[in-house]
Amino acid sequence: MLVHTPHRDKIGGTKRTLAVIREVGIPEHLVVIDHLNELTLPLVLDSDCWRGHSVYPNTKMSEQRMVALLQQYGTDKMIVNSAADWGVSDPLKVPKTGQAMREAGFSEAQVEQVLFHNPVDFFAQSGQLDKTLVSTPLPIDQRKTWQDNSALRGQDPVVK
């Protein structure tokens, strides 16, 4: 289950979200509470829920704020996502957050933990996602064409 915290009264909404999860009896490890910030993340840290953060260009969570949260609270169950919704969005905020993490001194393993392994581990609980399958790089051979057409525009093809 993914729960989006409210835009207004985020603290009250997050507290109520956690209360409903417990009242209903949903196992907390099966829930990601998203759109967390500096005020709501500490509330979720006291649960077994996953901690979601949506990074936006002008509002809500920025890369720098996300890095500060990771520095303060660590990488356990932390998930970063970006949006391409009705407002000003930047779907590249996830890789930009990864770059900000590197610049702040996070290791490549920590970047991969937050941006890849944590979300994959969360969604793999559904049984619909095979972590081994998505963790295995696909072979790349850009020499191949489709109906004698190539996407290459003068560059050397990558073959891995």
- Output the DSSP codes for 105-129: T--HHHHHIIIIIHHHHHHHTTSS-
pLDDT at res. 85: 74
Residue 160 to residues 137, 138, 147, Cα–Cα distance (Å): 9, 9, 22
CA angle centred on 53, ends 51 and 58, rounded to 5°: 165
pLDDT at res. 61: 87
pLDDT at res. 87: 78
pLDDT at res. 10: 93
2-135 maps to which CATH number?
A: 3.20.20.140
pLDDT at res. 89: 84
DSSP, res 19? H
Query: Do 29 and 59 touch, CB atoms closer than 8 A?
Result: no
Query: Which residues, other chains included, contact 68 with Cβ-Cβ below 8 Å and sequence gap of 6+?
Result: none
**Residues with pLDDT less than 70, the chain:** none
The domains of the chain are located at 2-135
Residue 30 to residues 6, 15, 71, 88, Cα–Cα distance (Å): 20, 17, 25, 30
pLDDT at res. 119: 96
Alpha-carbon gap, residue 125 to 120, rounded angstroms: 9
Residue type, 67: V
